[in-house]
């Protein structure tokens, strides 16, 4: 049955609201601008929706959601009611004077800049971060330009929550497959329950749509070419990542996405225009960042040598020095990061946490088994350090990562019967996996063991690491050991003058 609106301009709704004009219309609803007869000068946006037994419950749920919300990007609901014996329900909301985001972008045309588009992304993420941060989270599920208004000050507001719902942890997939084609994520169409990452996909579709002159909503050769042609290359890594088919390959939360767009906007505002600009310009220790992310590769000389433990300790040590840090589990067969994920996501079921390919724990981002394309996008995310946990397999592609890193660390065992593991990694000329400039760290090694291994391997770049029972909160002894081992390459590890002097003194003795 077709929806038949009940009111036209001049009509009086519920004896209180005078219809001034129609400001929006769809297949099952209409939105009016109405003046309040009891509060002179006050205007409301009133959504009139056709109702059925199923729809009444959904509209009531929408009203309940909105009543509980309190965020400057989201609409505030003032009233929800149904006219007795009528076939429509009414939701009274604050009236936001503005323009739909797609119409606004079309009017701007070529004047729409990368800085503005990054700003749109950041503002939308503010609203999504609030929604997804509620317990349980609220998933919008219908993010699109016509549900976003921009006012005269450039502020974006969400204006429709018709199919939003609370995330149900025990449910495997959505019971109602709703969403707008083109802007809805792949998981909207069945097979799994949508979570906050579905809204992030929709955000990517919105930004691509605006950045291609309202032509494209999915990532491909044509859309990428149009996006670049219009000057939005600086946003490409972030937008393409949002539009990944698999949720695990996208940004994992709105806060992380907001930070990414914030960095892009800051770089563009400072004059950066190339893709590498915003990857390079980031604050470290309050100062100017190096030209790009520093890559550290950690490889075990044999299984159980401690490559993952060393990677984690190093990541959390570097985090204290300033800047963002991520550590990447490069061996897809390893299960270490799955176990860490369970610690990071205590509120999730064990199997759900173990399935997460990207998560944050105590300030460090953990990424499991990324594709080559996903690995490359990390360089656009403003990390000061990217630590690659290569495991101990020694596969060709992992050996290549070890060889090309800024700092390559080989982790060996202190046991006398395991020393051969280290010597077998070299080719007799001091090269390890194609890398001449490398260091070796041996957990629990005694000074005598270090001296012996330096002679045996023909290099003084072999260092002991103390036992560290808290890899996520390394102690001072561990920090000092890492400063000694890595300080020449990573000056951020020189965390105080005493460590710097100790490092100089020990290396002077080693060269004698």
Q: Describe the strand order of the beta sheet including 43-50 as a list of residue ranges.
A: 12-13, 17-25, 29-36, 43-50, 88-94, 77-82
pLDDT confidence of residue 44: 93
- Quote the DSSP letter at residue 183: T
* Helix (H) or strand (E) run with residue 439 in it: strand 439-443
Could you please state the CATH topology (level 3) that the domain comprising 99-280 is classified under: Transferase(Phosphotransferase); domain 1 (1.10.510)
Q: Which residues are annotated as a binding site for ATP?
A: 47
Q: Please give the chain's pLDDT, 512 residues, in tens.
A: 566 778 888 999 999 999 999 987 776 778 899 999 999 999 999 988 877 766 667 667 767 777 778 888 988 888 888 877 677 888 888 888 888 999 999 988 888 999 999 999 999 999 999 999 988 888 888 899 988 999 888 899 998 765 444 434 443 333 343 446 778 888 766 555 678 899 999 999 999 999 999 999 999 889 999 999 999 999 999 999 999 988 888 999 999 999 999 989 888 887 644 333 333 333 333 333 344 688 999 999 888 888 999 999 999 988 877 678 999 999 888 888 888 887 766 544 444 445 567 888 888 889 988 887 778 778 777 788 999 999 988 788 888 888 888 889 999 887 767 667 666 666 544 456 555 668 889 888 888 888 888 888 777 888 999 988 889 988 888 888 888 888 655 655 544 444 444 444 555 554 44
Q: Domain locations in the chain?
A: 12-94, 99-280, 294-511
Tell me how far apart the alpha carbons of residues 300 and 422 are, in angstroms, rounded to a whole number.
9
Structural contact between residues 362 and 316, judged by C-beta atoms closer than 8 angstroms: yes
Tell me how far apart the alpha carbons of residues 294 and 6 are, in angstroms, rounded to a whole number.
63
Structural contact between residues 441 and 310, judged by C-beta atoms closer than 8 angstroms: yes
Exposed/middle/buried for residue 82 (C-beta within 10 Å: 0-12, 13-18, 19+): middle
Tell me how far apart the alpha carbons of residues 392 and 381 are, in angstroms, rounded to a whole number.
27
The CA-atom distances, in angstroms, between 127 and each of 26, 72, 143, 173 are: 24, 8, 11, 24
pLDDT confidence of residue 281: 34
* Helix (H) or strand (E) run with residue 407 in it: strand 407-411
Structural contact between residues 253 and 131, judged by C-beta atoms closer than 8 angstroms: no
Identify each DSSP E strand in 302-351 by its residue range: 324-329
Q: And the tokens for 410?
A: 């080989």
- Give long-range contacts, CB 8 A cutoff, 24+ apart: 420-424: 421/301, 421/302, 421/305, 422/301, 422/453, 422/457, 423/456, 423/457, 424/301
Which SS3 state, helix, strand or coil, does residue 60 take? helix
Tell me how far apart the alpha carbons of residues 222 and 215 are, in angstroms, rounded to a whole number.
10
Tell me how far apart the alpha carbons of residues 145 and 100 are, in angstroms, rounded to a whole number.
6
The answer as to CATH 3.40.50.1220 being correct for domain 294-511 is: no
How many Å separate Cα 268 from the centre of its chain?
20
Residues written for the chain: 512
Tell me how far apart the alpha carbons of residues 400 and 383 are, in angstroms, rounded to a whole number.
21
- Quote the DSSP letter at residue 17: E
pLDDT confidence of residue 356: 67
Q: How many CB atoms lie within 10 A of CB 437?
A: 14
Structural contact between residues 144 and 180, judged by C-beta atoms closer than 8 angstroms: yes
Tell me how far apart the alpha carbons of residues 221 and 229 are, in angstroms, rounded to a whole number.
12
Which SS3 state, helix, strand or coil, does residue 211 take? helix
DSSP string, 382-405: TEEEEEEE-TT---HHHHHHHHHS
Q: And the tokens for 110?
A: 């070529």
pLDDT confidence of residue 498: 43
Q: And the tokens for 496?
A: 């105080």
Sign, CA torsion 430/432/433/436: negative
Structural contact between residues 294 and 165, judged by C-beta atoms closer than 8 angstroms: no
pLDDT confidence of residue 291: 44
Could you please state the CATH topology (level 3) that the domain comprising 12-94 is classified under: Phosphorylase Kinase; domain 1 (3.30.200)
Tell me how far apart the alpha carbons of residues 411 and 397 are, in angstroms, rounded to a whole number.
18
Question: Radius of gyration over alpha carbons of the chain, in Å?
Answer: 28
Tell me how far apart the alpha carbons of residues 379 and 241 are, in angstroms, rounded to a whole number.
13
184: cis peptide before it, omega within 30°? no
Sign, CA torsion 486/492/498/500: positive
Taking Cα atoms as reference points, which of 411, 124, 361, 367 lies closest to residue 258? 124
Question: What is the reported pTM?
Answer: 0.52
Taking Cα atoms as reference points, which of 360, 114, 122 lies closest to residue 257? 122
Q: Which residues are annotated as a binding site?
A: 47
DSSP string, 441-455: EEET--HHHHHHHHH
For 121-131, give one letter per residue: b (16+ CB within 10 A) or e: bbbbbbbbbbb
């Amino acid at each position: 049955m077709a929806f038949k609106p009940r009111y036209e301009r001049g009509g009086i709704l519920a004896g209180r609201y005078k219809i001034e004009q129609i400001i929006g219309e769809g297949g099952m609803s209409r939105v009016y601008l109405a003046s309040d007869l009891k509060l002179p000068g006050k205007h409301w946006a009133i959504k009139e929706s056709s109702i059925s037994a199923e729809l009444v419950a959904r509209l009531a749920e929408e009203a309940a959601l909105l009543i509980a919300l309190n965020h400057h990007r989201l609409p505030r609901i003032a009233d929800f009611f149904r006219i007795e014996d009528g076939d429509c329900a009414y939701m009274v909301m604050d009236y936001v004077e503005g323009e739909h985001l797609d119409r606004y972008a079309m009017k701007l045309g070529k004047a729409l800049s990368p800085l503005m588009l990054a700003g749109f992304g950041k503002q939308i993420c503010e609203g999504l971060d609030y929604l997804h941060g509620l317990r349980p989270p609220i998933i919008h599920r219908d993010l699109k330009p016509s549900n976003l208004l921009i006012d005269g000050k450039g502020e974006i507001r969400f204006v429709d929550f018709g199919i939003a719902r609370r995330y149900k942890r025990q449910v495997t997939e959505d019971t109602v497959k709703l969403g707008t084609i083109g802007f809805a994520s792949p998981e909207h169409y069945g097979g799994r329950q949508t979570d906050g990452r579905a809204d992030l996909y929709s955000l990517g579709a919105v930004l691509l749509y605006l950045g291609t002159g309202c032509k494209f909503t999915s990532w491909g050769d044509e859309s990428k070419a149009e996006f670049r042609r219009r000057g939005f290359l600086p946003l490409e890594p972030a937008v393409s990542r949002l539009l990944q088919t698999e949720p695990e390959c996208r940004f994992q939360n709105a806060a992380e996405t907001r930070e990414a767009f914030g960095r892009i906007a800051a770089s563009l505002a400072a004059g950066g225009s190339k893709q590498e600009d915003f990857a390079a310009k980031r604050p470290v220790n309050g100062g100017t960042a190096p030209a790009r992310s520093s890559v550290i590769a950690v490889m075990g000389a044999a299984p159980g040598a401690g490559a993952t433990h060393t990677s984690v300790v190093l990541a959390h040590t570097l985090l204290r020095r300033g800047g963002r840090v991520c550590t990447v589990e490069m061996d897809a067969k390893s299960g270490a990061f799955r176990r860490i994920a369970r610690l990071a996501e205590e509120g999730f079921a064990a199997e759900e946490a173990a399935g997460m390919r990207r998560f944050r724990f105590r300030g460090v981002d953990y990424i499991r088994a990324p594709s080559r394309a996903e690995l490359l996008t990390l360089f656009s995310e403003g990390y000061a350090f990217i630590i690659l946990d290569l495991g101990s397999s020694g596969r060709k592609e992992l050996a290549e990562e070890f060889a090309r890193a800024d700092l390559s660390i080989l982790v060996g065992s202190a046991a006398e019967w395991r020393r051969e593991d280290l010597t077998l990694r070299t080719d007799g000329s001091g090269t390890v996996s194609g890398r001449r400039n490398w260091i070796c760290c041996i957990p629990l090694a005694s000074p005598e063991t270090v001296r012996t291994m330096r002679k045996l391997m023909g290099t003084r770049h072999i260092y002991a690491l103390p036992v560290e029972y808290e890899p996520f909160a390394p102690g001072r002894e561990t920090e000092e050991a890492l400063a000694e081992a890595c300080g020449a390459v990573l000056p951020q590890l020189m965390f105080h003058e005493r460590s710097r002097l100790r490092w100089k003194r020990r290396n002077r003795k080693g060269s004698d």
